[in-house]
Chains A and B, each alone.
Chain A
Amino acid sequence: MHIVVCIKQVPDSAQIRVHPVTNTIMRQGVPTIINPYDLFAVEEALRMRDKVGGTVTVLTMGPQAAEDALRRALTFGVDRAVLLTDRAFAGSDTLATSFALAAALSKIGREFGEPRVVFTGKQTIDGDTAQVGPGIAKRLKLNQLTYVAKIVAIKPAEGEIVVERRAEGGMQTLSTKLPVLITMLEGTNEIRRGTIDDALRASRQEIVTWSAADAGITEVAKCGLKGSPTIVKKVFAPPPRAEKALQIATADQSMEELAEATTKAIFKRRPKLEEDLIRFSAGP
């Protein structure tokens, strides 16, 4: 069974700094990582392959440098890596991204066999939209299972899958037919350490690299900035608050006095809060 995982290379946003004057992102020297949510998808794909047999292909759209993310994925034991890279993709929003990825997935299907399961992470840590997975599913008319916590059963012969998915206020168990697109919830598994063989193979393996034309995309106007209905009008740092924190602290106070002053300050700011607390709090 052919399984494809869409991953994204993202800046390690924990290490991103914003330039204090220009309000722009200082990307220089910021390391890149595989979007952490995608690792759950990669691992789940590998588990599925190990269980029912087949191959796992990872796909990413990005600059040439995104090859690093693919090589990393290969070290986990993924079988094949495809990089979709073209200047035409620059500035893609989620709609344009799902268009390009869907085209690449179709090409992957023609070249390496139709994927029966396509995985993505729940969302990325830079875009945070959770829209690309559903976008791909709709474009390729795949059944869509988002926020999946567990694959309960997969039966390739019957073309059936049963999953548990996180819904509002509970856990839904859903059954559907293959082919399917699954977005994996975080914390659902732990990415494996690949074998030494995998690591060796990863360093030597050729990465399939496609331009827009290679992927069979003729409608370039549906890609990149041109193909993106959303337009970023401005980017700015969160405005500072007008109200500055009132400091309740003097050097010679005891903790008790400080605590006393703090409760007074809270109730002075919001007198009604004390009434509410008296009515609703746990009591002595």
Chain B
Amino acid sequence: MTEAEKKPPASSGRAGTRKELPEHFKAYKNVWVVIESEMGAIHPVSLELLGEGRKLADKRGVELAGVVLGSDRATNAAVAAAIFEHGADRAYIVADPALEHYRNEAYTKAVTDIVNTYKPEILLLGATNLGRDLAGSVATTLLTGLTADCTELAIDEEGSLAATRPTFGGSLLCTILTLNYRPQMATVRPRVFALPAREPGRTGQIIEHPLNLAEDDIITKVVQFVADRHSDEVQLAYADIVVAGGLGLRSMENFQLVKNLAAVLGAEYGGSRPLVQKGWISSDRQIGQTGKTIRPKLYIAAGISGAIQHRVGVEGADTILAINTDPNAPIFQFAHLGVIADAIEFLPALTEVFRARLAVNRLAS
């Protein structure tokens, strides 16, 4: 590290803000994750948060709990069993017909009530549409701090949650504290943290809590729910291999080269933001800060410069292969393997080599 890098980073001008936690917040203890589940299927982001929450709880020497909301007792119990196996010590369960589908009013009431009753110091949610809708309401109702879309969570010297998130379109990172309010709230996007290992047979304590809200008091009604027929979204975020293209491919026709390679690898394909703006790919295939965060084993980026907004979406990839004509392209600063070549010539060659190699080895194995 150079001397310049070691210097304390520029502060935002709030230096001197001390921790003076009011007396009534001192009882707040434990780390909680709001568990998102649909008919008993747990959203992976909730499990990812349990993995990270476990670390925070251990660091604080406190318990980790999950909040399970749903209409059906048995389903909630099954969800609780699964979260225990993923690190939770406790599950706060609210079972009520009003919680069948997500509705802000009912979910906000459920979460704020149990927070006020059982007083967690940290409350984590997925930065999904559901999590963001709920988190903003819960934080405002509880009048506490909420940090959105964090990429890193830690406990600082004073025992506070230090939540790091991209700012200014991803050009910078900032670390945010909620010193004097409880709970300290944060949301985290899917795939930012790894899934924790499952410990079969691990159990925990279940605490049931009533909703105290009649259906008639809920003004918003669900008229209909149409599931995505093509669940592109989930597949890209959770794909093991992703091949992506950028403006370096020069035309929509050339983007086919990315799709060809993806087909041979059984991979998902995606692209940088300008391709969405040009209409070469649909918006649910955009990778990056305002698109999807991915965490594949292999990420191949062809003709992508590697702007910071793109980088934050792919940093969790295990192996990044960058193909770019410009040896100074920023992508080479975070890729693991780099090929300086014209992607339009190189992609077909790479596709052929993979095709041949996989075919031969498939026969051999």
Cβ-neighbour of B358 out of A126, A167, A283 (below 8 A): A283
Q: Please measure, in the bound complex, the distance between the C-alpha atom of A188 and the C-alpha atom of B364, giving whole angstroms.
A: 51
B176/A143 in contact, CB under 8 A: no
Determine whether the beta carbon of B225 is less than 8 Å from that of A231: no
In B164-181, the 8 Å CB interface with A consists of: 166-169, 171-181
Residues of chain A contacted by B348 (CB below 8 angstroms): 255
For A278, the chain B residues whose CB sits under 8 A away are 358, 361-362, 365
Give the segment of B82-90, B127-135, B206-214, B248-256 that binds chain A: B127-135
Q: Is the CB of A130 within 8 A of B137?
A: no
Contact of B147 among A16, A24, A132, A230 (CB under 8 A): A230
Which residues of the other chain, A, contact B311 by a CB distance below 8 angstroms?
238
Q: How many residues on B have C-beta within 8 angstroms of the other chain's C-beta atoms?
A: 110
Q: Is A266's beta carbon under 8 Å from chain B?
A: yes
In the complex the two chains form, what is the Cα distance from A273 to B317 in whole Å?
13
Complex contact B337–A175 (CB within 8 A): no
Which residues of A from 116 to 154 have beta carbons under 8 Å from B?
Answer: 125-135, 137-139, 143-147
Contact in complex: B321, A233 (CB < 8 Å) = no
SS class, residues of chain A in contact with chain B: mixed
Contact with B140, one of A126, A134, A240, A241 (Cβ below 8 angstroms): A134
The answer to whether A231 touches B222 (Cβ under 8 A) is no
Contact between chains at A266 and B298 (CB < 8 Å): yes
Question: Are A94 and B146 in contact, with the CB atoms below 8 A?
Answer: yes
The residue of chain B having its C-beta at the shortest distance from the C-beta of A94 within the complex is: B146
Contact A247 B168 (CB under 8 A): no
**A129 and B148 form a contact (CB under 8 A):** yes
Closest A residue by C-beta to B131: A168
Give A232 to B175 CA distance when docked, in angstroms.
Answer: 6
Which residues in A have their C-beta under 8 angstroms from that of B172?
Answer: 18, 23, 25, 235-238
A-B contact count (CB 8 A): 309
Interface residues on A, range: 35 or more
- Is A235 in contact with B10, judged by CB distance below 8 angstroms? yes
- Please state if B338 and A245 are interface contacts (CB–CB under 8 Å): yes
Q: Which of A95, A237, A265 counts the most chain B CB atoms within 10 A?
A: A95
Q: Inside 8 A of A258's CB, which chain B residues have their CB?
A: 339, 341, 346, 349
Which stretch (B70-78, B196-204, B226-234) binds chain A?
A: B226-234
Q: B residues within 8 A CB of A131? A: 132, 135-136, 139, 146, 148
B149 cross-chain contacts in A, Cβ below 8 A: 128-129
Is B58 close to A, CB under 8 A? no
B263 touches A (CB below 8 Å): yes
Question: How many angstroms from the CA of A235 to the CA of B234 in the assembled complex?
Answer: 32
In the complex, what's the smallest C-beta–C-beta distance from A103 to chain B, in angstroms? 14
- Chain B hits for A135, CB < 8 A: 136-137, 139-140
* Cross-chain contact of B129 among A126, A166, A229 (Cβ < 8 A): A166
Q: Which of A241-276 contact B (CB under 8 A)?
A: 241, 243, 245-249, 255-256, 258-260, 262-263, 265-266, 269-270, 273-276
* Chain A residues packing against B (C-beta within 8 Å): 11, 13-14, 16-18, 21-25, 91, 93-95, 98, 125-135, 137-139, 143-147, 162, 166-177, 186-187, 225, 228-238, 240-241, 243, 245-249, 255-256, 258-260, 262-263, 265-266, 269-270, 273-278, 280-284
A-B complex: 5 closest residue pairs judged by Cβ atoms: A134-B136, A229-B145, A13-B169, A284-B359, A281-B266
6 other A-B residue contacts (CB within 8 Å) besides A236-B174, A248-B339:
A139-B140, A144-B133, A233-B175, A235-B175, A276-B240, A280-B240
**B-to-A contact residues, CB < 8 Å:** 4, 8-14, 17, 36, 38, 43, 101-105, 108, 128-130, 132-133, 135-137, 139-141, 143-149, 156, 162, 166-169, 171-181, 219-228, 231, 234, 240-241, 263-267, 283, 289-290, 297-298, 308, 311-312, 318-319, 321-322, 327, 332-341, 345-346, 348-350, 352-355, 357-359, 361-362, 365
